Amino acid sequence: MKRLLLIPVLFTLAGCGTGDRVPPWRSFPIMNNLLCFSVNKSDVLSRYGVYSEQGSDYKILAERSRVTFSYPESCLKVPLTPGYIYATSYTLNGENYRYNFFIDKNGKILSTTTGDR
């Protein structure tokens, strides 16, 4: 019986392995509804998604994959309504990132996290 309990304990201690993990936080400039995932011409944006839950509606504001954009194409004009939280997910230079932000009623953009420490 003790041996049977050992197997689940080993899997619990081992964790998930090297599979998908939550991507790290990486902020980017946002000005006048323009999201610039990178302003470096050598960076390559290959996937992005911009999402928001506004009231009871979940909105996909922009989403593309299998693209190859460098600055200035890595900047995207998206309609951002003040008073809501926005979530982004993107791949830059083969690395996955995420960033969430809030736009207050005065148009000020606030990050919803300071990132992992």
Residue at 103 is within a domain: yes
Determine, yes or no, domain membership for 14. no
Please report, in tens digits, the pLDDT of each residue of the chain (117 residues total): 555 454 555 555 555 555 567 888 888 999 989 999 999 999 999 999 999 998 889 999 999 999 999 999 999 999 999 999 999 999 999 999 999 999 999 989 998 875 444
Q: Please report whether residue 15 resides in a domain.
A: no
Is residue 98 classed as helix, strand or coil in its secondary structure? strand
Domain that includes residue 66, residue range? 23-111
Task: Please give the Cα distance from 63 to 44 (Å, whole number).
Answer: 16
Q: Which residues pair with 51 in a beta bridge?
A: 60, 87
Residue 7, pLDDT score = 54
CATH of the domain at 64: 2.60.40
Token reading at 39: 């302003």
Residue 41 within any structural domain of the chain: yes
The pair phi, psi for residue 40, each rounded to 5°, is -95, 120
Is 53 contained in some domain? yes
Q: Domain total for the chain?
A: 1
Phi, psi dihedrals of residue 6, rounded to the nearest 5°: -65, -35
